[in-house]
Amino acid sequence: MILRLAFGSLVARMLTVSMTILAIALSVALFLGVEKIRTGAKASFADTISGTDLIVGARSGSVQLLLYSVFRIGNATNNLTWDSYQDIAERPEVDWIVPISLGDSHRQFRVMGTTPAFFDRYKYRSGQSLVVRDGAIMADLFDAVVGADVAATLGYDVDDPIVVAHGLVSFSEHKDQPFRVSGILEKTGTPVDRTVIVSLEAIEAVHVDWQSGAQIPGQSTPADVIRQMDLKPQAVTAALVGVKSRLQVFGLQRAINAYPQEPLLAILPGVALQELWQIVGIAETALMAVSTMVVVTALIGMMATIFSSLNERRREMAIFRAMGARPSVVLGLLMFEAVLTAAIGAILGLGLLYVGLFIGQPLIDNAFGIWLPIDAPAMREVWILLGVVIAGAIVGMVPALRAYRLSLADGMMVKI
């Protein structure tokens, strides 16, 4: 019954109490949301590439190799010669190898030359394969497959002609070899969405009349002549490698890193992703800190509300005391109020999070390629909610102790 009275007292102050609850709920939803996005982003990030055992490129840093080969950020310092590529491909440990050739662009998007095997071997989000949404993968020398973002941004459909520019920010376009969009990929949330994929030979083909980054004046080889040429590449930018047995990964990595003919680097994508995330992770800590502050602010707001309610409630406390309640009952009443407010706020916040997730999940996946799974609250989230309630109790202690002292001093006589 005492609890019912405490609850009744809360209900009687519905307006201020509900504002406090709302503030706590919003802060909790924000905190959980940030947490959700953080883990979702981390998972999406780690899922950018899976199924690949090693990434091989010219010797540089592992993060740099990962950045340019997978995320298409920055440039390769050097290439991997075709001979070295062949050597690696012929090693007994190698199950499959897919070359990647970068360096050209189409509008703001990178062009990547590779083999059709890329579509079988490249996996993301724990083993998902690329899916061609419209059309098919490259069948002809001048076919290009574009990622979902490329198609969406530039409004491409299958069979649209596209022109590849040499270099990354360049006005010298390879106008004489127009490509055709042969396929559009399904959205993946990976850098593939922002990539134009052509065959390795196509990369060579567009450079037939080019030397040292400039077109040889007056020279323009017709497309059908190019088709007759030997378009074997001299070098590729990097290669994705799969091994026959996972046990051989480290042996192969050592062998490639010690390759005598050329300075090469082989990295484990998972390890390099971890390294990269540690760099990005500072932002995640900052996000956590900010959302923690918001929760703390909401709880302090609750403390202020309880404090300001103490004066109007001195009569209530005095009645309890006169009826024989010990001062500790008064303390308990206020603690209960704080805990109840925090708990309702926390649960409401959790509800808000799920509403937000249901609405936001497809939008966030589309816009940022971050997949936020809608699961039952994990242990971690339960702990966070519990933490909010405990913090509410601690914060509520301050006005409760004040009420305790007041009710000791007032006794049962309050002259208002």
Q: Does 246 bind another protein (CB under 8 A)?
A: no
Q: Does 50 bind another protein (CB under 8 A)?
A: no
Q: Which of 2, 283, 286, 296 binds another protein (CB under 8 A)?
A: 2
Q: Does 36 bind another protein (CB under 8 A)?
A: no
Under the phi-then-psi rule, with left for phi > 0, alpha for psi from -120 to 50, and beta for the rest, what region is 126?
A: left
Residue 380: Cβ within 10 Å count: 11
Give the residue with the Cβ less far from another protein, 238 or 330: 330
Q: Does 323 bind another protein (CB under 8 A)?
A: yes
Residue 153: Cβ within 10 Å count: 15
For 380, the token pair is: 């971690």
Q: Which of 227, 254, 326, 405 binds another protein (CB under 8 A)?
A: 326
| SS3 of 36-56 | HHHHHHHHHHHCCCECCCEEE
Contact call for residues 56 and 264 (beta carbons, < 8 A):
yes
Q: Smallest distance, Å, CB 412 to another protein?
A: 6
Q: Does 411 bind another protein (CB under 8 A)?
A: yes
Q: Smallest distance, Å, CB 326 to another protein?
A: 5
Name the 3-class secondary structure at 133: strand
Q: Segment near another protein (CB under 8 A), from 96-104, 212-220, 233-241, 326-334?
A: 326-334
Which position has the token pair 């042969």?
A: 182
From CA 23, how far away is CA 254, in angstroms rounded? 56
Q: Does 4 bind another protein (CB under 8 A)?
A: yes
Virtual CA dihedral for 183, 188, 189, 190, nearest 10 degrees? -70
Phi first, then psi, for residue 122 (nearest 5°) are: -70, 125
Give the residue with the Cβ less far from another protein, 111 or 325: 325
From CA 266, how far away is CA 54, in angstroms rounded? 6
Q: Segment near another protein (CB under 8 A), from 212-220, 301-309, 322-330, 377-385?
A: 322-330
From CA 145, how far away is CA 221, in angstroms rounded? 24
Q: Segment near another protein (CB under 8 A), from 19-27, 129-137, 342-350, 407-415?
A: 407-415
Give the residue with the Cβ less far from another protein, 255 or 412: 412
Q: Does 321 bind another protein (CB under 8 A)?
A: yes
Q: Does 325 bind another protein (CB under 8 A)?
A: yes
Give the residue with the Cβ less far from another protein, 207 or 321: 321
From CA 350, how far away is CA 355, in angstroms rounded? 9
Which position has the token pair 């989230």?
A: 381
Bridge partners (DSSP) of residue 240 are: 55, 98
Q: Does 15 bind another protein (CB under 8 A)?
A: no
Q: Smallest distance, Å, CB 304 to another protein?
A: 22
Give the residue with the Cβ less far from another protein, 316 or 381: 316
Q: Helix 269-312 to helix 327-368 angle, to the nearest 10 degrees?
A: 140
Q: Does 258 bind another protein (CB under 8 A)?
A: no
Q: Does 67 bind another protein (CB under 8 A)?
A: no
Q: Smallest distance, Å, CB 325 to another protein?
A: 6
Q: Does 412 bind another protein (CB under 8 A)?
A: yes
Q: Does 316 bind another protein (CB under 8 A)?
A: yes
Q: Smallest distance, Å, CB 401 to another protein?
A: 16
Q: Which long-range contacts (CB under 8 A, 24 or more apart) does 68-73 make?
A: 68/102, 68/237, 68/238, 69/100, 69/102, 69/237, 69/238, 69/240, 70/191, 70/269, 71/191, 72/102, 72/110, 72/112, 72/191, 72/194, 72/195
What is the distance between the terminal CA atoms of the chain, rounded to a whole angstrom? 27
Closest CA to 85 of 162, 200, 217: 200
From CA 309, how far away is CA 250, in angstroms rounded? 66
Q: Smallest distance, Å, CB 404 to another protein?
A: 12
For 49, the token pair is: 């590439």
Give the residue with the Cβ less far from another protein, 55 or 325: 325
Give the residue with the Cβ less far from another protein, 11 or 229: 11
Q: Smallest distance, Å, CB 22 to another protein?
A: 21
Q: Does 331 bind another protein (CB under 8 A)?
A: no
Q: Does 319 bind another protein (CB under 8 A)?
A: yes
Give the residue with the Cβ less far from another protein, 188 or 407: 407
Give the residue with the Cβ less far from another protein, 167 or 411: 411
Question: How many residues at the interface with another protein, by CB under 8 A?
Answer: 26
Q: Which parts of this chain interact with another protein (CB under 8 A)?
A: 1-2, 4-5, 8-9, 11-12, 315-316, 319-329, 411-413, 415-416
